[in-house]
Structure 1
Amino acid sequence: MHIATITYTLTYEDKHQHPIALEIEDDMVFVSFEGIGTIEDRLAPGRKGVTVDRTWILVKEGSYRLQAGFFTTDEGVPNDLFIPAVWYRDNTKGSGLFPSIDHSTIWSFLETRMSIPCCLQLSGGKRHFLCATEAAAEERFVASVTNDPHGAIISIPGWEGPYSYQGKKALIDTTSMPRPALMVPSGGLIYRRTFHLATYRGMRGMEAYVAFVASLPKAKPTDLPHPLSWNHWMELKLTRLINLVRRSENNLAYIIMGEGNGEVQDVYEFTGASFLVKSIQGACELARFTEHELTLDCLQAARRALAKRFSLVDDSRLLATVAKKIGDFFLKAERREGVFQDNHDLRTGQWGGYLGIGEFPEFAEMVNSRCNGEAMKHYLRLAKELRQLGYDVSPYIDLARRVSLFYSDIQLSSGSFGRWWTPEGKPKDIQGTNGAYIGSFLCALIPMLEESDPLKKVLIDAVHKAYMFYAKLADEGAFYGDTLDADSCDKEAGVALLSFFMDLYHLDGNKRHHLKSAHLAAEFIIQWIWQQSSYLPQESPLGKKGFSTLGMTSVSVAHHHLDCYGMAIAYEFLRFATAANLPFYAKQASLMIAACKQLVHGKENNLGRDESFFGWQPEQINHTNWEYFNRPELMNGHYEIDIAWVTILTLSFFDRIRGEFPEALQE
């Protein structure tokens, strides 16, 4: 079977060089360049691919650019390009300055952009060609990959063009910039690099990519320079959560979005029941940990400060009482019956559908299905926790009922719960996967309703109708969602579907077709998970901390930074892996869980903030040539931004993994 055609070229002193001789001996290829040097390839065939161990032996002093060209067969159909975490279906969905086919058909991206260095997939019909390399160990050897209609060209040193995407509002034209060169001294240079090539047939595109990931050498999590026990990690997270709680004017409570963010802090001056703050999910964790026996001094101090802030006794009910105050505060977000606009501007007092940084200011006046689904699902979890402690939670259940009626009434004939709605229930944007959050919310509400309750049948019919729509999206690979502050293809579109499919799988008594749909969503998510530890400058803040990208998750094609959303994905992967008996996804979950132990601020690992930030884990981990606000000094190895969702999501899903899959939490 033809796997790839390999081409051999070099660039010396800006001139393209072609070989004068090529010899093949057993598994070795020897290529000579007159007066310059040689390339030696050792080929190791595998079941579906080949590993190329390449050695460049450069003998002439001067400036070089090294190339590795890998090409597939032309089978008479156009080749569709896929680059994990960077390029999905030409990046035509959404809006923004991120790379897309609208800007250019040929792109070059640095290896640090993607979850496998220089990974590129070309799909023609049912034939899928993939290539990748190992991570560079030195900055001068950081590579780039350029797509060709029939293959890929990997270049060392790497460059980006025709544009370099460096921030939400920064797509830099590089066409007039000189390409970097590798300087070889008079004594010459020997350099080795491994490349992985594969061709798969008879598969779907994402299925082929997952097979390729599974075939690569397994990377082991890096030993952390400041290892924490899970209990220590958990208490640091709980400390940060408590320190994010504030008292409202009417003696209720909310969670601030973030603090200490310097020149961009204005962006974070609001709160919300759901994403990007997750106050109700945070309240649920406070209730769950209200009787937790403390071990860390910083957690004890945080509890004492919280009790003082609310004039409460620091007893076993303190956290539950504050959780109830948070739940009660966001009851005000119901602006009319069933219309829940949960973002609250702390400066103006405005309530809205979404008040943070984003692409469209009109979102403030609308209702978002993701926000509503998240908030209501966690209101139900909060109700369960507080009810067990003797609190009256009927207002939370009643609110969830009213919101469920709002969505069951406006559900589209296709089964979609839409994306953005007017308060009157008119659809404004029905694209994407956001309505799957409503599906998960309804799956949580249905078991809480009595059989005689007429709402129960209405909601059961609604979730099955919704499944038909969202399963079709998964089948078509239409993973387009809304992270509120971006508008693009993103990993959370896949997570929303996976979560809904697994919720419905358990609600319906383990129907296998739900697992088939879940499998499609899980395959899509794999591309966002980093399979190697990427190059980071050793003198950068991340380099000094011994940070590893392995198991971290990229955000979206619009946001080229890493985050800790992997703890939530890990929980969904463990659910899916157990139900489908697919251990590959449990192994991927382990990578993400281990990765999320990194970069937690505390005595053992000072991240540059004071003790009031103990438990802080940065939202934006800038591993490549990109920074949210286009600040060059914070690219390539820096971390930044305190935001509540990181603290709450990681703690919450750790808590669920601990309860349902304790074997996944290995010390």
Structure 2
Amino acid sequence: MDMQALRKNIIGCMAMLIASLGAVEAQDGSILPKHITEHPLNITVLGADAKSTLNYDEEGLPPTIILKKKITQVNKGLRYTYTLTALADISFSISKQWSMGVADPDLAQFYAPGFWYKRNTRSPEKAPSFKKAKYWSFREDRLSAPVVVGFNPEKGDWFSVSRMDVLNNDPRPSTLEGKTVTATDIGSLGFGEHTGQSIQLRGAYPFVEAPYSYQSKLDLKPAWQAFFPLSKGASVTVVWELSYGKATDFTDLVNQQWNKAFDRFDPQPIPTVKTDAEIKAILSNYFYGSYAETKDLKGFSGLWFNTETCETTGVLSVGFCGKVLANSYNLLEYGYKTQNEAHIALAKKVLASYYTNGFTENGLIRELVFGSNAETVFSLRKQSEGIKNLLFLLDYGQQSGSPRPDIEVKVEKLLLNLVDMQQADGSFPRKFDQDFDTTDPSKGSTQSIITPMVMASRFFKNPRFLKVAQKAGVYTKKNIIDKADYFSSTLDADCEDKEAAAIAAASFYHLALASESDMYDHYVALAGKAAVFGLSWYYLYDVPFDKESLLYKAGLKTRGWGNVSTENNHIDVWAFDFPHVLIWLAKEQGNTRFSQMATVIETSIKDQMLPYKGHMVGVGKVGYMPEIIQHTTWDYGANGKGFLNAHMSVGWTVASIWEVLTPGRFQRFMERHP
């Protein structure tokens, strides 16, 4: 054996001894439960050709690495600290695995906040789910908190792995598939079936995305593995925490995990630059810049803008995404409050056209108007949102001495037609045609109709509408909340999503305000359960960006922004009245986390990416709040992480921020219509 080989052998033995001694000293007698197994750390070294790899583990280290392993006991878990020191220039990847015994892996459920719920079975084939593969690993910045959880619903056992390091750096990688060398802080967290009767969780650093990397909508790209470049003599430390416990069901699991993650990060409000009044003044530019006329309608163009130019597209949309009626109400109310005659005149012009030509022959609200578009499919959610805002407008007209009894008749007739669509179980179909015949029987949007039905029961003094809302609430409880199955409330996807949970929380809030004391507490509890699922989509920490990216230069802090859905992995400003619901729940349930997070959401989304003079953040016009914020390796159509998509829909983003800044609307409506 030559001296060089002998030296490598000695160094390898020393490294193994250090690792072994560290584990013994740190274990301090702590032992994992019998159903959880720790597996050795795996180490992969990238070859000089940047293609080949050599695989090792902590029991047989590479000769170019010294490894120190420390395990410390924490409350119901263990913290694993690995420090790697290079004895030569290397590029490496490490991964750590834990497994948990289960009787039937096919019944196991997993939770990766803001991206994976149970088994993601609501997601389509071309998005991540167990329909495509039985093991998945994702970059940590895809998750609203860097934690993954495995759950055995049969026994109530869960175990989780959290990345505990602060994530500060994420330079733009040289490639988005295969192997890449990058000095990123971002690792990955994985989960899925193991071998036999067990499931696994895995932490990796840097990130490994496998078996596919989900970087574009409904496009699963090849696996992607990063290697960290470590210079001779340099060290890097990676910390994971393994926790375990019991949960009564998946809802209890998510509640426990969200509380734990919230307490760990303790997210604080974002200092704002603009006052609420200044923000509304800036947003009001959108109403004038987007104004458009079709052959028989006038309104605010809300969809499909070029982000850099924001040229008006002429597309008028009611409900999500254009929010023409919501924004008309916003502008009208704002105009009277600020005594701005131009605002009032513009809002009235839009409303006059919709009151005259905004309904189909069968009384449905026209949802999407542009060119020769044939409106053949209508959605429960858009109709519900349109009715909600029409009721606000009709109420405002009554209060200001300008009632519209003709529109009241139209709205009541539409509501009665929708009532007839309610199924015996209380559900409503997701979509239907102009004759109210079902085209999409999916029931996941049922909760969206609860609020307008509650409002209608008061406005029209018709208890039948309240009974419909209550019956829809029964369906929502049994099939969405009790089953923890929040899905299909986004309109461009049919999968697990944020809005289904947040809308359910708001719906039960509104039912509570319309109910006597015996049902009030019941609805409070349901709103609280749904709210936690809604909150699980919102980021609790700030993800890092490449220093040359738009979002880095804008100084974006991601805490308080919410992932969209399991199909659409970007963040946006969707909030509307959800922060107000959280504040109400905080008072009703004594939950200060809710009120704190409500403030974080509000302060984070309202002006960080608001385009105004000297702060246009890549947007072409003042007041056009951008829609698609690509905070992770995600390309909704263009540009990728750290940038905005090339196109955006703005009507709803303006309406969301406006509603966040206008609390108490629903309560005041209910008080005026006892």
Same fold (TM over 0.5): yes
Work out which of the residue numbers 44, 48, 58 in structure 2 matches 1:11.
44
**By how many angstroms is 1:79 displaced?**
2.6
Identical aligned residues as a percent: 18
Read off the aligned partner of 1:238 and give its amino acid letter.
S
In structure 2, the partner of 1:61 is: 89
In structure 2, the partner of 1:602 is: 612
Q: Deviations over 1:337-383 (max 9, x none)?
A: 433332111x22x452xxxxxxxxxxxx1221111110001101112
What aligned pairs does 1:155-174 form with structure 2 within 5 A after superposition?
155-174=204-223
Read off the aligned partner of 1:256 and give its amino acid letter.
S
Q: TM-score with structure 2 length normalisation? A: 0.82
**By how many angstroms is 1:265 displaced?**
8.3
Residues of 1 paired with 2:102 and 2:277: CA distance?
A: 55
Residues of 2 paired with 1:615 and 1:102: CA distance?
A: 42
Q: Secondary structure at the match of 2:254?
A: helix
Q: Secondary structure at the match of 2:265?
A: coil
The worse-fitting range, judged by mean Cα deviation, of 316-325 and 586-595 is 316-325
Work out which of the residue numbers 360, 364, 373 in structure 2 matches 1:339.
364
**By how many angstroms is 1:545 displaced?**
1.1
**By how many angstroms is 1:167 displaced?**
1.7
The worse-fitting range, judged by mean Cα deviation, of 212-221 and 529-538 is 212-221
Read off the aligned partner of 1:229 and give its amino acid letter.
T
Residues of 2 paired with 1:218 and 1:183: CA distance?
A: 29
Contact 1:130 1:197 in 2 (8 A): yes
Within the alignment, does 1:472 sit opposite 2:478 as a pair? yes
Q: TM-score with structure 1 length normalisation? A: 0.83
Aligned residues: 600
In structure 1, the partner of 2:286 is: 240
Read off the aligned partner of 2:365 and give its amino acid letter.
F
Work out which of the residue numbers 237, 240, 243 in structure 2 matches 1:198.
243
Within the alignment, does 1:616 sit opposite 2:635 as a pair? no
Contact 1:96 1:168 in 2 (8 A): no
Within the alignment, does 1:147 sit opposite 2:154 as a pair? no
**By how many angstroms is 1:614 displaced?**
1.4
Seen in structure 2, the aligned counterparts of structure 1 residues 119 and 202 have a Cα distance that, compared at 3 Å, is closer
Work out which of the residue numbers 452, 472, 496 in structure 2 matches 1:441.
452
Q: Secondary structure at the match of 1:325?
A: helix
In structure 2, the partner of 1:634 is: 640
Within the alignment, does 1:37 sit opposite 2:66 as a pair? yes
In structure 2, the partner of 1:564 is: 573
Q: Deviations over 1:289-331 (max 9, x none)?
A: 11344xxxxxxxxxxxxxxxxxxxxx64442333233233233
Read off the aligned partner of 2:275 and give its amino acid letter.
S
In structure 2, the partner of 1:257 is: 302
The worse-fitting range, judged by mean Cα deviation, of 66-75 and 107-116 is 66-75
In structure 1, the partner of 2:226 is: 180
Q: Deviations over 1:614-640 (max 9, x none)?
A: 1222100001121222x3x33344455
Contact 1:571 1:589 in 2 (8 A): yes
**By how many angstroms is 1:582 displaced?**
2.2
Contact 1:564 1:619 in 2 (8 A): yes
Q: Secondary structure at the match of 2:208?
A: coil
Q: Deviations over 1:404-446 (max 9, x none)?
A: 1101122111111221123323223222331222221110111
What aligned pairs does 1:308-457 form with structure 2 within 5 A after superposition?
316-331=340-355, 332-345=357-370, 347-348=371-372, 350=373, 352=375, 365-450=376-461, 456-457=462-463
Residues of 2 paired with 1:490 and 1:267: CA distance?
A: 29
**By how many angstroms is 1:559 displaced?**
0.5
Q: Deviations over 1:41-68 (max 9, x none)?
A: 252412x444444433343432211223
Q: Deviations over 1:586-614 (max 9, x none)?
A: 2221221121131111124232345xx21
Q: Deviations over 1:201-235 (max 9, x none)?
A: 133223223322322423444755x7222322232
Residues of 2 paired with 1:163 and 1:292: CA distance?
A: 53
Within the alignment, does 1:646 sit opposite 2:670 as a pair? no
Q: Secondary structure at the match of 1:480?
A: coil
Residues of 2 paired with 1:128 and 1:414: CA distance?
A: 33
In structure 2, the partner of 1:491 is: 498
In structure 1, the partner of 2:196 is: none
Q: Deviations over 1:556-584 (max 9, x none)?
A: 01111100013542122223333333222
Read off the aligned partner of 1:342 and give its amino acid letter.
E
Residues of 2 paired with 1:131 and 1:567: CA distance?
A: 33
Contact 2:502 2:533 in 1 (8 A): no
Read off the aligned partner of 2:328 and give its amino acid letter.
A
In structure 1, the partner of 2:100 is: 72
CA RMSD of aligned residues (A): 2.9
Read off the aligned partner of 1:326 and give its amino acid letter.
V
**By how many angstroms is 1:646 displaced?**
0.2
Residues of 2 paired with 1:214 and 1:76: CA distance?
A: 28
Contact 2:387 2:452 in 1 (8 A): yes
Query: For structure 2, which runs of at least 5 residues remain unmatched after alignment?
Result: 1-30, 47-52, 171-182, 194-198, 669-674
**By how many angstroms is 1:267 displaced?**
11
In structure 1, the partner of 2:169 is: 138
**By how many angstroms is 1:173 displaced?**
2.6
Read off the aligned partner of 2:609 and give its amino acid letter.
L
**By how many angstroms is 1:20 displaced?**
4.1
Read off the aligned partner of 2:473 and give its amino acid letter.
Y
Residues of 2 paired with 1:533 and 1:55: CA distance?
A: 24
Residues of 1 paired with 2:214 and 2:311: CA distance?
A: 24
Residues of 1 paired with 2:663 and 2:392: CA distance?
A: 12
**By how many angstroms is 1:507 displaced?**
0.6
Work out which of the residue numbers 496, 514, 525 in structure 1 matches 2:523.
514
What aligned pairs does 1:85-104 form with structure 2 within 5 A after superposition?
85-93=114-122, 95=124, 97-104=126-133
Seen in structure 2, the aligned counterparts of structure 1 residues 609 and 516 have a Cα distance that, compared at 3 Å, is closer
**By how many angstroms is 1:647 displaced?**
0.7
